[in-house]
Structure formats: C-alpha cells, structure tokens
Amino acid sequence: MRRSKKERQRLLTQTIEDNPFVTDEQLAQQFNVSVQTIRLDRMELAIPELRERIKNVASKTFENEVKSLPLEEVIGEMIDIELDKQALSIYDVTPSDVFARNGIARGHHLFAQANSLAVAVIDDELALTVKSNIHFVKPVHVGDRIISKAVVTGKDDDNNRTYVNITSTVNGEVVFKGEFEMYRTKGKGE
C-alpha cells in the first residue's frame, strides 16, 4: 500500500520516536520505499541518522550513570546499563576497522568494545582491567553491527575485584567472548 509523502513522514517520525535504534534499511522495508527516500525524509524532517540518534539517547540516559570513565570513552555506543549488573553497547564496523586484504575486523576493536564495557559497568570512580581471558569466535566484517553485553558474575570485596563476562554477537551469532577481572577502589564496607 502506497502512502502519501505526508502520511509516510508522520509514520516515520512516530516509528523513530518509538524505536530510535531502527535503521534506514529497516524503515525502507517497513514503508516499502528506497533507503534514499527514507534518508531524504529524515533530512526534510531534521531527524538525525542512526548513529547520532543513538548518541543522543545514550548521552541523555547514561551520562550521570557511568562513573568509571567518561561516556565518550566507551568504545561503541552505550545503549543500556545497570551498574554492577549488566550493560549493553553496539559498534558498527567501518572500513577503517578492517584489514584491507581480507575485510576482517581487527581484533583490537572487538577487545576495546568489550574492555570499555567491562570498565563502564563497574559502580566505582576507578575501574581497571587486571586480566582477561578472551576468545575470538568468528570473523567480523565491514558493515556488521556488534552487540556486546556485559554481565557482572561476581565480586571479591576483600581484594576489590569484580568479575565481568562479555559476549559480543553479530546478527545473533557469538563472535567474541571474554572474562574480565576488574580492579575497583571500593572494597569491603565501603
């Protein structure tokens, strides 16, 4: 069913308000128009692209929550956090993130996303990585969206340690796993 431009733009605005993380490709499919039409509609309506929408939501939502590092130092875009419990971030792989000869993402980008998420989830002014056990499960390529989830699995208050597991996926498939032992300044009775 073809909609008028005015009706499509009204529905587009509502859809993005309901889900600011929806992609232009998903919108094009939903409204049965080209991606270019969606981009033109967004420009006309002054709706920023996905990356900017994510940054806006994250900065409004998490700027006062993350204590251990400035939000802009988190690698990827923070989309959810519950301090000392869990956190979620996304990272879109760009051409500058991959090896030119094979198009596979450099591992340090996946590690940096996971490590910064492990730091961000700690409810303390200082959190440092003591050690990590990481496993690259599958290659990641240009255009892939990496969704990383941090889960706090335990604490050792006597030694000021927090243990965080990170699982990173692309399209629901695990591409990276990591176990992080984190130092924090808050210990027993603090």
For residues 39 and 48, is the Cβ–Cβ distance under 8 A? no
* Segment 64-83 mean pLDDT: 71
Boundaries of every domain in the chain: 5-47, 62-184
Work out the end-to-end distance of the chain between its first and last CA atoms, rounded to an integer number of angstroms: 61
pLDDT at 85 over 60: yes
5-47 folds as Arc Repressor Mutant, subunit A (1.10.10)
* pLDDT, mean over the chain: 86
Q: Residues of 54-68 as b/e, b for ≥16 C-beta within 10 angstroms?
A: beeebeeebeeebeb
Fold of the 62-184 domain: Thiol Ester Dehydrase; Chain A (3.10.129)
Q: What is the DSSP letter of 159?
A: G
Note the pLDDT of residue 93. 94
At 139 the pLDDT is 97
Tell me the range of 53-67, 75-89, 134-148 where mean pLDDT is highest. 134-148
Structure tokens at 109: 């980008």
> Where is pLDDT greater, at 113 or 47?
113
Work out the pLDDT band at 107, boundaries 50, 70, 90.
very high
